[in-house]
Amino acid sequence: MQEFVFLFRNSAEEIAKLSESAKTGYMEKWTSWFKKLTEAGIYENIGDRLISTGAKTIKGSEKVITDGPYPESKEIIAGFIKIKAENLEDAAEIAKGCPIFFVNGSLEIRTSYYM
């Protein structure tokens, strides 16, 4: 298993559009997703140095996967986690379940590198 970091990006405007009940539902989605990753034994939640090559970005409600970390300036990094996966493609499949897409956010995947 390799280690990967998921960087979460979203727009503050998208979050602000949510009603209070939608925000609560959104946070519940995060709790559920983290529980699923933890139960699968792949959630690490540890940060290390990141490698820029071989990155993928998944964006929007259509979950389009592209190469490279090329965020738009209006997006912010909202947080990150570390997970275990067999390879970058498996990490991308795991990432598709992330709640960040509920607010039209994006998720960047990087290979974690510990010296």
C-alpha 61, offset from chain centre:
13
Model confidence pLDDT, tens digit, residues 61-80: 889 888 765 555 466 677 88
Model confidence pLDDT, tens digit, residues 81-98: 999 999 999 999 999 999
C-alpha 17, offset from chain centre:
21
> What local confidence, expressed as pLDDT, does residue 46 receive?
64
Question: Which of 19-23, 69-73, 96-100, 107-111 has the weakest average pLDDT?
Answer: 69-73
- Residue 58's DSSP bridge partners are 65, 107
Mean pLDDT of 101-109: 93
pTM, rounded to two decimals: 0.76
Residues in the chain: 115
Of 25, 33, 39, 21, give the one whose Cα is nearest residue 107: 33
Q: Is 63 left (phi over 0), alpha (psi -120 to 50) or beta?
A: left
Task: Check if the beta carbon of residue 57 is closer than 8 Å to that of residue 106.
Answer: yes
- The CATH superfamily assigned to 2-113 is Dimeric alpha+beta barrel (3.30.70.1060)
